Amino acid sequence: MKNIGLLTMITSVVTAVSSCAGGDAPVYLDASAPAAKRVEDLLSRMTLEEKVGQMNQFVGLEHIRKNEASLSEEDLKNNTANAFYPGFTADSVAEWTRQGLVGSFLHVLTIEEANYLQSLALQSRLAIPVIFGIDAIHGNANAPDNTVYPTNIGLASSFDTDLAYRIARETAAEMRAMNMHWTFNPNVEVARDPRWGRVGETYGEDPYLVTKMGVATVKGYQGDLSSDDVLACIKHFVGGSQPINGTNGSPTDLSERTIREVFFPPFEAGVDAGTMSLMTAHNELNGIPCHSNEWLMEEVARGEWGFKGFVVSDWMDIEHIYDLHATAENLKEAFYQSIMAGMDMHMHGVYWNEYVCELVREGRIPESRIDESVRRILDIKFRLGLFEHPYADEETTMDVRLCDAHRQTALEAARKSIVLLKNDGLLPLSPEKYRRVLVTGINADDHNILGDWSADQKPENVTTVLEGLKEVSPETDFVFVDQGWDPRNMSRRQVDRAASLARTCDLNIVVAGEYMYRGRWTERTSGEDTDRSDIDLVGLQNELIEKVHASGKPTVLVLISGRPLGVEWAAEHLPALVNAWEPGMYGGQAIAEILYGKVNPSAKLAVTIPRSSGQVQMIYNHKPSQYFHPYAVTPSTPLYPFGYGLSYNEYEYSDLSIDRTEIPADGQVKVSVKVTNHGAMDGDEIVQLYIRDRFSQVTRPVKELKDFARISLEPGETKTVEFTVTPDKLRFLDKNLKPIVEPGEFIVMAGSSSADEDLLKTSFRVK
Ligand code: BGC
């Protein structure tokens, strides 16, 4: 530990606490005492102000200083990523921390600041450490100098839960190495609207896949919830991923059936997996803001599922009960409603401490209710070892962050998350045939490939697509035409320049898509609070693609995006199309390796790609009547369906069989299917199992993913994949929303995507 001064300070604080407690060290400072005893001991020593302070979270001092200098008070109102507190400076926050009136921080981006703030907290009367929360959504990317993995939508496309677990473990290690204890991830919302800018943060549209990825991630972060681990946070509870108009935080109006069938399962599984924090959603749900929704927090999460952790608000959302939703007449009333509905921690803001203390003194909120929340928060602080390990070591921090093993995982994840959507035989590229290659497009040479929720990372830690191409195919003459980073302001001159150079090249690679970089919050086109009314390419990107294609030279389109894009023209006219999502720090290398056949693509879409936003809601697991009357003029089929993705191999599915054709309601069926690699390369295939309940008392989806397996096959190899259909895979909610397995026919489908033509089918009956 570099900072010897700090150590002396902590020792003296502990001594001061011991002596004011009358000689013996208090139980709460005894690392060998059980957490529950330590919590009760500490709680009994705390004043009301200190308790309410534990329930409040602030942004870090550097964040405040930077934003004070660059934002106006007017800007603040609509800003959900940047903040300062008018009239309450960074120094005031520091002073409150020293007084033990702050329980947590977010948006602290360096180990030095984290250690410093912790030293302030440890100077407080009871020396209670703060817990640092951060949006470590894909690695701890939101802070500089950390490993940046693909975002969740790409990771989900790998269908690799072990990989998700490993990434979460590595992220936990990098976080603890910079004194961060709590990640606001996994986002286990089921994404059902591509206009919504946050699709990239999610694991896609299927409740089963979201559940599996979410659970693996929670387990990876939390381990056994001790000093090597971080606290996971399942969010946002709930429904914001099907916003009424596609915009973030707009109202959500959902039947209880849909909430329970589609949106709850990943949250319930997250609670079962031991998640100890949960974040409520910006939106109102059926007329009640999620932040004052007692049904969600108390009845469902705590009551039905037995959630034992704490609930944290989202940014300014308790305030919004008053100043946006207008279901509270003032801020104090909003705080009251939220706490009484089950809220434990307030994200970000100064009025909380004063008003909540008043509400207790006025007898409106019983102090016992405050104690419940503080108990939950302190319990986590003890379990994560914050009292024993309040600091991270500034000298060894970089031994962990960005270490070789983590970089290797980031590369593996990028390779496994890139989806090949179309290939008319052009790919893999032959360097002998295509000697001079045009590379252009807004994402061709830009760090935007890191994706949303990423800070600036050093150039040596990021491989852009152009850099990746040059590394992977050094013999090729790559001709780069810069289109700038900004899709909204592309230059037609540069587009035309690319078009004319295309004629002098043998092949064109256009790297297009969305712009997600947080540093240009108001200019970007996708990401948090950046929703669209269509899903087309922005700006002159289509024109660029069409003009380059007009050269007559083969053109490959690579998309970098957190949301599905309706690139119908390109899908029809270009010979090759790659969807790379937000592939992270080694995205450029992985894309190049796939284009040149060094890596065989294996990912499958975790979300349907519609042709246009007019098709929304476009999901594979829709109800039987959805296309009874198809659209006039334009197709009713998606551009690419859920579960779809090509390889350089052909995989043949055969011999789908089941071990019995009739079972009791509590019985099981074993399903097996053979998969053969007819290609010339080693490859991974993602084998998918879908089920349909043929006739049922309430309408059921035309198919639902119930299992999957990622298998590796050598050329010529055949493997038999087995799945077990257990009763939970057949269960649904009856007319009274009670779980039931009904007698009747169940169709079993196995294959390479959710499209009917890619599935083998058989069926069995439940007696
Ligand atoms: C987002 C959350 C995030 C929080 C803190 C909010 O605007 O909705 O997902 O965890 O900010 O950054």
334-363: pLDDT as tens digits: 999 999 999 999 999 899 999 999 999 999
Residue type, 737: L
Give per-residue pLDDT as tens, 190-199. 999 999 999 9
Residue 448 corresponds to which tokens in the numbers above? 């935007």
Q: How confident is the model at residue 23 (pLDDT cuts 50, 70, 90)?
A: low
pLDDT, tens digit, 9 for 90 and up, residues 405-453: 999 999 999 999 999 999 999 999 999 999 999 999 999 999 999 999 9
Report whether pLDDT(752) > 80: yes
pLDDT exceeds 50 at position 77: yes
- Per-residue b/e over 14-34, b at no fewer than 16 CB within 10 Å? beebeeebeeeebbbbeeeee
The residues pairing with 566 across neighbouring beta strands, listed in sequence order, are none
Residue 364 has pLDDT above 50, yes or no: yes
Comparing C-alpha atoms, which of 684, 655, 685 is closest to residue 671? 655
Distance CA 164, CA 150 (A): 10
The pLDDT of residue 4 is above 70: no
Nearest CA to ligand 1 atom 6: 315
What single string gives the DSSP state of each residue in 672-728? EEEEEE-SSS-EEEEEEEEEEESS-SS---S-EEEEEEEEEE-TT-EEEEEEEE-GG
Question: Does the beta carbon of 453 lie inside 6 Å of ligand 1?
Answer: no
**436 burial class (0-12, 13-18, 19+ CB within 10 angstroms)?**
middle
Site to substitute for ligand 1 among 80, 105, 233, most atoms within 8 A of C-beta? 80
**To which residue do tokens 């935080």 refer?**
249
| Rounded Cα–Cα distance for residues 735 and 733 (Å) | 7
Q: How far apart are the CA of 147 and the centre of ligand 1, in A?
A: 20
Beta-bridge partners for 749:
690, 761
Give pLDDT, residue 34: 97
pLDDT for residue 546 is more than 60: yes
C-alpha closest to that of 283 among 233, 222, 236, 240: 240
Strands 310-312 and 651-658, sheet pairing: unpaired
Q: Quick check: 411 and 150 in contact, CB under 8 A?
A: no
Tokens 């009640």 belong to residue: 288
Q: Is the pLDDT of residue 9 over 70?
A: no
Question: Residue 202: is its pLDDT beyond 80?
Answer: yes
Ligand 1 centre distance from Cα of residue 143 (Å): 15
Q: Which two tokens stand for residue 543?
A: 């024109």
Point out the ligand 1 atom lying closest to the alpha carbon of residue 80.
7
Collect all residues with Cβ–Cβ distance below 8 Å to 321 and sequence separation of at least 6: 289, 291, 292, 327, 328, 334, 337, 338
Mean residue pLDDT across the chain? 96
| Protein residue with least CA distance to atom 10, ligand 1 | 184
DSSP state of 631: P
Q: How far is CA 197 from the centre of its chain?
A: 12
pLDDT digits (tens, 9 = 90+) for 270-325: 999 999 999 999 999 999 999 999 999 999 999 999 999 999 999 999 999 999 99
The Å distance, Cα 390 to ligand 1 centre, comes to 24
Average pLDDT over residues 651-664: 98
User: Do 120 and 58 meet the contact criterion of CB atoms below 8 Å apart?
Assistant: no
What is the C-alpha to C-alpha distance for residues 277 and 311, in angstroms, rounded to an integer? 6
Residue 469 has pLDDT above 80, yes or no: yes
In this prediction, residues 178-203 reach a mean pLDDT of 98
Cα 557 from Cα 578, distance rounded (Å): 6
Ligand 1 in contact with 189 (CB < 6 A)? no
Helix (H) or strand (E) holding 535: none
pLDDT tens-digit profile of 370-415?
Answer: 999 999 999 999 999 999 999 999 999 999 999 999 999 999 999 9
Ligand 1, residues 188, 314, 319: which to mutate, most atoms within 8 A of Cβ? 314
What does the angle CA 577 – CA 582 – CA 584 come to, to the nearest 5 degrees?
Answer: 120
Q: How far is the CA of 528 from the centre of ligand 1 (A)?
A: 8
Tokens of 685: 């295939």
